[in-house]
Structure 1
Amino acid sequence: MACSVAAPVHVRDLVRLAEVDHGRRIAEASAKVAVAGDRRFCWAGAGVYGLYRHGPMPGPRTLGDAGRLVLAASDRPLTAAALDYCLKGFSYRYNVVSLRNALRQSSRIESRSDGQWWTPRGLAAEQLLLTEVPAVPRRRDADWVRLRNRLATRIAAALADRDERLRALVGSRPCGLDWGEQLAFLP
């Protein structure tokens, strides 16, 4: 069923697809338990799952863990806004306030004084990450390196797109606003 859709979908939609495509009635709670426990499905938000080819990363089952994986693969610390842009580009569905809360609550993600977030680097930190967020099967270091490099490329492309969009916005209007326009809420 997940193969027949182009993006991550909510479990209730998988249940509908099972009934329409296969004539099977499945309770939503049963489907959620089955999908959540099956590592072939990538978590993409509350009750939302897809396949890796749909955009979400393999492994994370919480927003904090998804953010941690992006930060581990990124070549630099990221602001919450930049991290949000990357995750939304990877088909995650959530409220940005939930992301900020997840970042603050994680014991593995640290806030810097400049408003950026980061996670420790190095072999020991990566081994701990893979133990807690199984993005690849155990003892598959080469697979992790390939996944991390693929994520780093996707992150760099997302950040370049974000920077270009922000430059275009600022270039067309100082500070993103048209100071000459009459605002509706002003007398």
Structure 2
Amino acid sequence: MTDGPAGVLAAGRCRRCSAELTAWERSRCGCGGPLGASQAETLYAVACSLAGPVHVRDLVRLALHDHQHAIAEASAKVAVASDRRFCWSGAGVYALYRHGPLPGPRNLEHVSRVVLTTAGGPLTVNALDYCLKALGYRYNPASLRNAVRQSRRIAPLPDGRWWHPVGEEAERTLIREVPVVPRQGHREWAGVRDALAVRVATALSEREARLRPVAEPERFGLDWGGQVSLW
């Protein structure tokens, strides 16, 4: 492969900007400018130039400022919502995989399913919320609770944690219902899954470390016994 104006994939990364690319980005990066004249290509080039999730209105503003491409906000919302290169990050907020959020999900229930699949076990809503915030998602915590409770795939456990099916068959169902990767992209899914498992484990370890001082049995001279839970 040789370098091109759009940046070419090299071992899963763009040779020009070194950003990690997903299977949805089809081995091409927009760091060198729009890959075509469409609204989606201009918006993708804008997203490639950013450091994190932004609202669609900011993508529109930068499309005009950086590329002299005037796009109506309503049209931009349709373009990014239907283009899986863009990762939904909250209400009207989008990013790319390189920024943290996951490719495929378009709502909190779908994001929660993917994270719970890779978490290594059930999680409380608070722990799940910490993981999603660490990935860059922006939302009201009450929305997450509603999404989990209303899900047909996520089930509550008696101890207050929430569970999602795991295993090969469960993963096939997941990627069929939540297109994290293109169809038949099981190899790509394994890469996303394993990378996410590390990120989730890191977030949970960080959360535990932050909560542990609060959960110390003799904190403030009181004996809390086993009443304080980290999860």
Q: Deviations over 1:67-119 (max 9, x none)?
A: 00000111010000000000000000001100000000110111111110110
Task: Note the 1:29-108 alignment, pairs <5 A.
Answer: 29-108=74-153
Which residue of the other structure, out of 195, 208, 214, is the alignment partner of 1:163? 208
Relative contact order, CA 8 A, sep 6+: which one is greater?
1
- Report how many residues are paired: 175
Structure 2, gaps ≥5 residues long:
1-45, 221-231
Q: % of aligned pairs identical?
A: 60
One-letter identity of the residue aligned with 2:197: A
> More helix by proportion, 1 or 2?
1
Q: Deviations over 1:132-163 (max 9, x none)?
A: 00101111211111111111000000000000
Correspondences of 1:129-168 after superposition (within 5 Å): 129-168=174-213
> With structure 1 as the length reference, what TM-score do the two structures score?
0.90
1:50 aligned partner, one-letter code: A
Taking the aligned partners of 1:168 and 1:8, their CA distance within structure 2 comes to 32
Give the deviation of 1:170 after TM superposition. 4.2
Shift of 1:24: 2.0
Indicate the larger mover: 160-169 or 42-51: 160-169
- Please give the secondary structure, in 2, of the residue aligned with 1:78: coil
Scaled by the length of structure 2, the TM-score of the pair is 0.73
Task: Let me know the Cα RMSD of the aligned residues.
Answer: 1.5
What residue identity is the alignment partner of 1:89?
Answer: A
Opposite residue 158 of structure 1, the aligned amino acid is: A
Unaligned runs of 5+ residues in structure 1 are 176-187
CA distance in 2, matches of 1:109, 1:102: 9
